Amino acid sequence: MSELFAFGDKVDGYNVRVFNERVVRAAAGILFFPALVAFMNAWLAGNFQPIRLFVIIFLIDFTIRLFINPRYAPSMILGQWMVRKQQPDYSGAPQKRFAWGYWFCLGIGHGLHHGVQSHAGTHQFSVLRYMFDLDVF
């Protein structure tokens, strides 16, 4: 397999390919902020367009992460730049592939749901509202 499509980095002292966990966490934070803005826009203003846009951005990022190379995903590039002066902290690539695959499938399901649905209702957040009413959080 060429290094273009490699999943993770080879690091001395590890038997499996690994990722710098600091980069992964920074990339998660980069994706979290627009997700939060989109969610709050939908919940408070009833505008679901930002969620649709975020799902497209999320799926593009995760498609690059899973099927090409995480090194070339936009959020990972920004995350690498943000933590460039920090000591790396490694975690296994197989675990990341499983987790990212899970979130990719959830993103596909959400995208299909909003692609089929032509009207923006509030039922998308009924489970979350129910959990807030039960003081789960």
Sorted by sequence, the CB contacts under 8 Å of residue 60 that are 6+ apart come out as 74
What is the spatial distance between Cα 49 and Cα 104, in angstroms, rounded to a whole number? 20
Contact 69, 6 (CB under 8 A): yes
Query: Confidence band (pLDDT; 50, 70, 90) for 9?
Result: confident
The three-state secondary structure class of 91 is: strand
What is the spatial distance between Cα 108 and Cα 80, in angstroms, rounded to a whole number? 26
pLDDT tops 70 at residue 130: no
Q: Give the domain ranges of the chain.
A: 10-133
pLDDT at 103: 81
| Cα distance between the two ends of the chain | 45
Residue showing tokens 């990022």: 61
pLDDT tops 80 at residue 64: yes
pLDDT at 118: 46
pLDDT at 128: 47
